[in-house]
Structure 1
Amino acid sequence: MRKKYSLVLIVFSFIHFLGFSQQNYELNTGWKTLPIADVTSSGEELSNTSFSVENWKNATVPGTVLTTQLNNGEIPDPFFGMNNGEIPDIYDVGRDYYTYWFVKDFEEKVKKDEQIWLNFRGINYSVDIFLNGKKVNQKEYKGMFLRKRFNITKFLAKNGKNRLAVIVYPAPHVGNPNGGQGGDGTIARGVAHQYVAGWDWIQPIRDRNTGIWDKVIIEKTGAVNLKNPHVVTKVSGKRLPGEKQEPAKISLTAEVENPTSKKVEGTLSFKIAGKNIEKEVSLAANAEMLVALPEFEIEEPKLWWPSGYGEQNLYDAEVQFSIKNKISDRETLKVGIREIQTEWNSHTRSKQIFVNGQPIFIKGGNWIISDAMLRFTKERYDAEIRFHRDMNLNLIRIWGGALPERPEFYEACDKYGMLVIQDFWMSGDCNGRWVDPKKKDDQWTRRQYPDDHELFIESAADAVKMLRNYPSLAIWCGGNEITPPQDILHAMKDEILPELDGTRWFIDYSNSDEMSYNFKGGNGDGPYGIQDISTFWEERTWPFNSEVGSVGVGDEVSLKRFLPKENYTVPVEYEGTEAVKDPVWTYHKYIDYGNSLEAYGTPENMTDFASKAQLVNYNQYRALMEGFSSHMWDWYTGSIIWKTQNPWTALRGQMYDYYLDPNACLFGLREGSKPLHVMYNTTTGDVYLVNNGFKAQYDLMLGIKLYDMKGNEKPVTQVFAYIEASSTKKILSLKKQIDTLAAKEGLFLKLDLKNQDQEVLDENFYWIPDSTGTYSGLQNLAKTKVEAEVEKVAKNKFKLKITNPEQNTVSFFNRISLESVESGERILPTFYDENYFSIIPGATKEIVLEAPQNEVEDLQISIEGWNTDRMIIPVN
């Protein structure tokens, strides 16, 4: 029978759970490992401290078998060149090849009235657990996404010397990586991620990410263990950021567990914003229960808002259970007070999202996973989410072929104001939406994947408990491009989510008519790949588009990180195929740029190709978001880029590469997504204003200037303008004037927007082709030499001031990089408030750059551009 989940209080919840109390610690070092083939002893024997593991290999935990092999030098880097093809695939060599024992010694003694718990936050795919000669899990523990907690108090050694031994078995169905989306599809028979059998953006992961892939934590409590606290906030009415707020309502529920043989009486308390809410609890022996505290109000709350709309305020809070005034267990929380609402927009025929009563035009990115081999770190999560914030996006969708993202991911989203759509683990490709000759089973069979529906439902319920408290989590989604099987859908939609959350919109699948009316038919998403700029402005697509995207090759520096020297080439496509003549480019899933680079001149080599690709990258993503924004609330309520990042070294769909080096896609998207923005439709010649904010903007001065290829200014006009809140407005047309002046060799267009204090609120810079569509003027643009100086404003934070002398022409499309003096390599990640920028003659531009994780002392900044030779500025 499926477990029935009941909740005493069903309300809106917005917190995040930082982890465990001070007595908790991770078992993340000192692990040893061997493959099952090299071990003849039993788990009982291995978990005795007298058994020698001196000759065992070092293991990476958290981590996968492949990660351990890589760190031990047993395999080449699978992300470089075609190394991945040299690693044995589990489908060919069998599951035993990647079945491994993991052993860990640790010290822990049980004190009086203390309970010790062993927590696994994720294993793949099934395990048996032994501690000090005894088996810990009496029931089967399987499923990649299921957390488990074991009371190990009675297993611990009296002398405090303990050994944990865990054998990890791969999934029973690993899938044939035959080149299909998810290979032959059978990877979906388990409750795990699907991309590991290969997709159109990645090669197969050879061990299918088998291992103890997430944290292992020792937790210490008193007689009562506090679990899954659930803080809830209600924000009524229509609020404005920065203003004095009406009260918000708060409530809390928590699970409490008594593993002892005696009845316990104690107090559950919740502290936040100077308030302490308590309730007396009586808990029977060997029992657990859900406790609800009374709802209360917080006066003048500081609200949490999505990025671009307001501050991401978070409250420190604490939940604890006390027995006779002694703390038994305590959880530290961050609470974000906000409320998500949705309604159907009958004009666009799509859902519209509101936060705290205000409409949010969704500008999102599709996210796969941070690292394809599950090498997750808090620092990498922080950097990747910061990049999304810096692109002026406000939402990330977690694609259904991956996983329920980690708490550290959501902490970063809370911090940077990213709303999140969390897909559950289905895909139309593997789960039977389409006829597919590469799939082993027919559609009817695949439609019922996974084999174990109860495990999927249990894992879904656990994921909801783990993630429901984050203010950034806005939407649950049943699957990627397909609903789950009917019984799973019913369990999630009608039982789990109402009872364990009840606060968020649930979409049955990612391109559902419930989300966006698919008036064109088809899949309800796209287009993908290189597009004519006019497509984004003039061709209407789905009103809330879950996937729309383009290209994304990095620059030369990025490409050289994972391409062997013999593959430094210009990719040439085989006619009528998606493959190119160079096998490494094909292996890394290159998507062709068509003839889009020819307008800048046929690329002569890889350096030239990568440089010109950045011009296309910038224009593609700026136009994409500007085109959607120009039809805000008329055609669209939102769009989500497919996709903004890659978890390995792919050659498509990314704003920054696997190594966290941004390319021009990021800065084009950043420009096109600005909350208050002036923009130019290159097809019609119309100039628009867009205002994503909640307040009207008055007395704005719009300035328009043109520059020829010699840098001569040709003033057009400047006009006063205003724009209402959350709206788009056409201001004027420049088509005749620009068509005439650009006809011979093209020109530059500079738009700027100022307020009453003459402060620049927005700038936008376009390069216009000649009458043939060629950038002939750019191809003959004179060289410029700029002047630059740098100021250190904080640790690892610098302000670069660049001046283009008046006698020059435009200094066009410059890239700056923070580098190590000794190696010349870029410092990654580095965050730039602008890059791939142009400077008109006589102008100065200031750019702030920051590398918060940098440990290199001797730094330099390089500047190089289309018509500016590389120059170095020392950082003192």
Structure 2
Amino acid sequence: MQEINLSSLDWRVKGFWPWVPIKGTSMELGQELLGVTDWLPATVPGGVHYDLYQAGIIANPYQNLNSLNCEWVENRWWLYRTVVERPERTGCRIELAFKGLDYEAAVYANQTLLGEHKGMFHEAAYDVTALMNEHERLEISVLLKHAPDEMAQIGKTSETFTQKSRFNYKWDFSTRLVNIGIWDDVVLRLHNAYSIGEVYLSSDVRGLGSSEANSVTGIIRMKADVRKQDPCNEDRIPLMLLVDCRDPEGRDVASHTVVVREGGTAEAELKVPNPQLWYPNGYGFQPLYQVNVRLQSSEGVILDERTFATGIRKLEYRRNDDSPEDALPYTVIINNKRIYIRGVNMTPLDHLYGNVTNEQYSWMVRLMRQGNMNMVRIWGGGLIEKTKFYELCDANGIMIWQEFIQSSSGVDNIPSKRPEFLELLEQTARAALADRRNHVSLTVWSGGNELMSEPNKPSNDGDANLAMLKALVAEYDPGRLFLPTSASGPVEYITDDKEIGHDVHGHWKYMNNPEHYRLYGENDNLFHSEFGVDGLSRVKSLHKFLSEPHRDPVSMQASMVWRHHGEWWDTLARDDSLFGPMEDLAVFSECSQWVQAEGLRFILEANRRRKFHNSGSIVWQLNEPWPNVSCTNLVDYFGETKMAYYWTKQAFAPLHVSMDYRKLNVEPGERVQRDVYVHAHDAGINVQVTAEVLDFLGNLLHSAKFEALTVEDKALCVGQLNFCIPSALVGLLIVRLRYRSNLGEGETHPYFFSADSGPVYRSALNIAGAKLQVRKEQIGQRSTLTGMIESLFTVTNSGTEAALHVHAEELTNGYWMESDDQYFTLLPGEMRKVAVRCFKKNGGGFLTADSIEGSAPEADPEIVFRCFPKYNVMERKPT
């Protein structure tokens, strides 16, 4: 089979009132019925909104309240068209396939109706052999009806009836901006008389743990079906499948030839001696083997060929340590190694998801990998993502938790049993299972998000909807875990009741001092698959979608614009209570991000201290599909990392040191006792820890040293920091932990406590004696392979007070930027070397302008360093 991508053709789109393009002419007057637009250039894959923006018909919907003026778009009908030339070679059968239509479509070729289609996640494929043989070119038309009126976040789950992404209709991190268009590739498939249909690859490992040399064998199992494509040939010919495997270096390591059975199926098992095993990020490498499957006739003619990249690994699941008998197996085991989940929840990358580029996917997966993350949950209110995303996760060791497309709605959360919904859900599930199961990163299937049979009680597979999905997973992908929903219960939300908190969600707010630390520090859940803390976006991003009149700190209640960009995530009152009143947007942003980072860091460390009693944490959320003033995300819509990303990255590190505590405020003269922990993936690592207690001038008030050897699969308490708060202390108290081991040395982001009598962090806003000096040690080194530009800086605090939360920022706006270390603290006289890596932006749709705004095409990155709270004071550029 040959596949020709048609996305680059000259596509056009035109808008109409409903039914007008079907009627064409007025019944009364006989004249042509005009459209609501003329024919416009169309992006495929893409969506109507960006095409309308490019034509000057709508304003940028991401700015201010502009999206409210775009809601008419979802209520019109849209007609796409292009011309497809007959290929030089056509084969026995020609198939026109749309991998993603959004949402309800009728497809025509030369005004002949090929068929109608409903649903986003299973392709629409049509036989155009006769038409293509008759005509040298075909005019392809796709008529998309107006978007269905589906439930938003607030509604009745039991009444859902589509497989359309529901976050489009308004969610807490998005607005109502309902995509419509051709959101994935359009292809022409040229088939020979027979072609390869569905292929199922799975892997296993035999001999792990054996003391015998060369005893480990990798197993790759292949199941495939063969489809007859020539309707004129009644006789089946003898067919064979030739299956061969190459290692990551391209060497042939295994092959097998099997005869295709009478029913058109074949199975093969390849044995790979001493394989390079695939591990999640942080536990090993991600070597990928190439598996080629060729369909051959008895005369030796190759009729079809498929190529896959897969990893070899053994996948198992087990209940947690001391887990109740009725709990599900939440611990993932790969190659006999228990994997502690350090994950993030991912929403769609854009409201208008057809415009997302491969580079945007690459950037998000890079941030996961660099952020020490090993799992991503693809949330059920969003998408089955495009194939590129799964390939990137395979290559970077990011395990995937894939949910089917259904989610809670608040008024009721009962899985829908409407017949039309179940039919569409089954089509989506079958399509997703048949394709995504071949990705080694795929680890968990889930029935959907927060589905509940009754309040606070997650649904289980006794529900007919979820029972169907469980049966489909057993049919298509029996080796992987199916969870009925997330959270999977037996209660939905985090609770103080230690008897029933298995897999839980919540909360999504900083729970205030000291309640936040009591709740999470003393909790005993088995798995924390969704929770978060909200914080403002960076000022650089806020200026991109808030016009000048809307750039002052304000509550969501007091501003319609701010409410439109993050109503649920108002942090003004919270941050005023912790820092005192703030009048500057930049200071407000920095304070809000500090609280988000502090709140998340504590939850992650508290969970990790119970390693394998708790099997892991999945932060809500990595990203956002539209620009919010405030949100629970780690990375904003424009690809800018927030402070919480870097504090999460450190809490997820393979080797990490943490301190347990229960409040942020301290009293002069108070005796403080804090346990210190070492977290490591591996046993037998000798770790030396130095704990220091300092004031904001850098004076050392107390120090202690600890040493320990890490143990298998658990956090290790290495000692207790025991000291007395000085009676004359005012302002901030800083506790930092440094560590050294044979793996290297490092330092945690400090823990900040306060002796202030009013707002806990009030004195932090008064620190004015920090002074950063920056020297560029290495001119930006540009990689021709990745396009990455890496620079090395030395940052020194030559001032008299601590420089808090030191971080770099890229000024040209032409690059995505990440670093090994951001938002760290430098005491007076201290210095640190910082590596900064920049990648040229290449976002799609409404991010296209952001990719080039303020930046010449070949301009180098421009880096400055800032510290808290002096955001508006640009520190001296590197010399």
TM-score (norm 1): 0.85
Q: Which amino acid aligns with 1:201?
A: F
Q: Determine the structure 1 residue equivalent to 2:558.
A: 581
Q: Check conservation: 2:276, 2:312, Cα contact below 8 A.
A: yes
> For this pair of structures, how many residues does the alignment match?
802
Instruction: Decide which of 586, 592, 599 is 1:607's aligned counterpart.
Output: 586
- Three-state SS of the structure 2 residue aligned to 1:481 is coil
* Post-superposition CA distance 1:430-480 (Å, at most 9, x none): 7933xxxxxxxxx7xx74246342232122111101211111111111121
* Post-superposition CA distance 1:316-370 (Å, at most 9, x none): 2222212333322222211111232112226244522212221112122121211
Q: Check conservation: 1:697, 1:725, Cα contact below 8 A.
A: no
Q: Check conservation: 1:130, 1:164, Cα contact below 8 A.
A: yes
Q: Distance in 2 between matches of 1:685 and 1:382?
A: 44
Q: Determine the structure 2 residue equivalent to 1:562.
A: 545
Q: Distance in 1 between matches of 2:214 and 2:683?
A: 16
Q: Determine the structure 1 residue equivalent to 2:249.
A: none
Judged with a 3 Å threshold, the aligned counterparts in structure 2 of structure 1 residues 74 and 834 are, in CA distance, closer, same or farther, namely same
Q: Which amino acid aligns with 2:77?
A: T
Q: Check conservation: 1:690, 1:727, Cα contact below 8 A.
A: no
Q: Check conservation: 1:536, 1:623, Cα contact below 8 A.
A: no
Q: Determine the structure 2 residue equivalent to 1:12.
A: none
Q: Distance in 1 between matches of 2:405 and 2:7?
A: 28
Q: What aligned pairs does 1:549-698 form with structure 2 within 5 A after superposition?
A: 549-572=532-555, 579-590=556-567, 591-593=569-571, 594-634=573-613, 636-650=614-628, 651-683=630-662, 685-698=673-686
CA positional deviation for 1:201? 2.2
Q: Distance in 1 between matches of 2:865 and 2:180?
A: 44
CA positional deviation for 1:136? 2.3
Matched, 1:204 2:192: no
CA positional deviation for 1:805? 5.5
Instruction: Decide which of 370, 390, 405 is 1:390's aligned counterpart.
Output: 370
Matched, 1:128 2:114: no
Range with bigger deviation, 809-818 or 346-355: 346-355
Q: Determine the structure 1 residue equivalent to 2:774.
A: 787
After the TM superposition, list the runs of 4 or more consecutive aligned residues in structure 1 that deviate by more than 6 angstroms: 38-45, 52-55, 514-519
Unaligned runs of 5+ in 1: 1-19, 46-51, 434-442, 573-578, 821-825
Q: Check conservation: 1:110, 1:116, Cα contact below 8 A.
A: no
What is the Cα-based RMSD across aligned positions, in Å?
Answer: 3.2
Q: Distance in 2 between matches of 1:488 and 1:865?
A: 52
Matched, 1:770 2:760: no
Q: Distance in 1 between matches of 2:113 and 2:306?
A: 29
Q: Check conservation: 1:175, 1:185, Cα contact below 8 A.
A: no
Q: Determine the structure 1 residue equivalent to 2:241.
A: 268
- Three-state SS of the structure 2 residue aligned to 1:734 is strand
CA positional deviation for 1:79? 1.5
Q: What aligned pairs does 1:325-404 form with structure 2 within 5 A after superposition?
A: 325-345=300-320, 347-349=322-324, 350=327, 351-374=330-353, 375-404=355-384
Matched, 1:304 2:278: yes
* Post-superposition CA distance 1:747-766 (Å, at most 9, x none): 32221111258x41454423
Q: Distance in 2 between matches of 1:663 and 1:58?
A: 36
Q: Determine the structure 1 residue equivalent to 2:450.
A: 481
TM-score (norm 2): 0.85
Matched, 1:499 2:475: yes
Matched, 1:753 2:739: yes
Judged with a 3 Å threshold, the aligned counterparts in structure 2 of structure 1 residues 835 and 153 are, in CA distance, closer, same or farther, namely same
Q: Determine the structure 2 residue equivalent to 1:222.
A: 192
Judged with a 3 Å threshold, the aligned counterparts in structure 2 of structure 1 residues 44 and 225 are, in CA distance, closer, same or farther, namely farther
- Three-state SS of the structure 1 residue aligned to 2:307 is strand
Q: Distance in 2 between matches of 1:648 and 1:716?
A: 46
Q: Which amino acid aligns with 1:583?
A: M
Q: Distance in 2 between matches of 1:185 and 1:44?
A: 38
Q: Determine the structure 2 residue equivalent to 1:819.
A: 811
Q: Distance in 2 between matches of 1:873 and 1:417?
A: 37
Q: Distance in 2 between matches of 1:165 and 1:316?
A: 38
Q: What aligned pairs does 1:10-49 form with structure 2 within 5 A after superposition?
A: 23-37=3-17
Q: Distance in 2 between matches of 1:32 and 1:656?
A: 34
Matched, 1:709 2:696: yes
Judged with a 3 Å threshold, the aligned counterparts in structure 2 of structure 1 residues 588 and 518 are, in CA distance, closer, same or farther, namely closer
Unaligned runs of 5+ in 2: 26-33, 247-251, 452-458, 663-671, 842-856
Q: Determine the structure 2 residue equivalent to 1:17.
A: none
Q: Which amino acid aligns with 2:124?
A: K
Q: Distance in 2 between matches of 1:336 and 1:459?
A: 25
Q: Distance in 2 between matches of 1:761 and 1:694?
A: 17
Judged with a 3 Å threshold, the aligned counterparts in structure 2 of structure 1 residues 763 and 465 are, in CA distance, closer, same or farther, namely same
Instruction: Decide which of 862, 865, 868 is 1:866's aligned counterpart.
Output: 868
Q: Distance in 2 between matches of 1:787 and 1:222?
A: 64
Q: Distance in 1 between matches of 2:139 and 2:689?
A: 70
CA positional deviation for 1:182? 4.5
CA positional deviation for 1:122? 1.5
Greater relative CO (CA pairs within 8 A, separation 6+): 1
Judged with a 3 Å threshold, the aligned counterparts in structure 2 of structure 1 residues 280 and 530 are, in CA distance, closer, same or farther, namely same
CA positional deviation for 1:385? 1.8
- Three-state SS of the structure 2 residue aligned to 1:726 is coil
Judged with a 3 Å threshold, the aligned counterparts in structure 2 of structure 1 residues 161 and 103 are, in CA distance, closer, same or farther, namely same
Judged with a 3 Å threshold, the aligned counterparts in structure 2 of structure 1 residues 272 and 67 are, in CA distance, closer, same or farther, namely same
CA positional deviation for 1:226? 1.6
* Post-superposition CA distance 1:514-536 (Å, at most 9, x none): 79997747994212211345146
Matched, 1:321 2:308: no
Q: Determine the structure 2 residue equivalent to 1:439.
A: none
Instruction: Decide which of 487, 510, 528 is 2:508's aligned counterpart.
Output: 528
* Post-superposition CA distance 1:244-285 (Å, at most 9, x none): 8711211111222111122333321222131222223377xx
Q: Distance in 2 between matches of 1:568 and 1:541?
A: 42
Judged with a 3 Å threshold, the aligned counterparts in structure 2 of structure 1 residues 200 and 148 are, in CA distance, closer, same or farther, namely same
Q: Distance in 2 between matches of 1:568 and 1:819?
A: 19
Q: Check conservation: 2:162, 2:424, Cα contact below 8 A.
A: no
Range with bigger deviation, 612-621 or 470-479: 612-621
Instruction: Decide which of 26, 46, 71 is 1:88's aligned counterpart.
Output: 71
Q: Distance in 2 between matches of 1:257 and 1:219?
A: 14
- Three-state SS of the structure 1 residue aligned to 2:175 is coil
Q: Check conservation: 2:296, 2:302, Cα contact below 8 A.
A: yes
Q: Distance in 2 between matches of 1:677 and 1:529?
A: 25
* Post-superposition CA distance 1:781-804 (Å, at most 9, x none): 313132321412333322322242
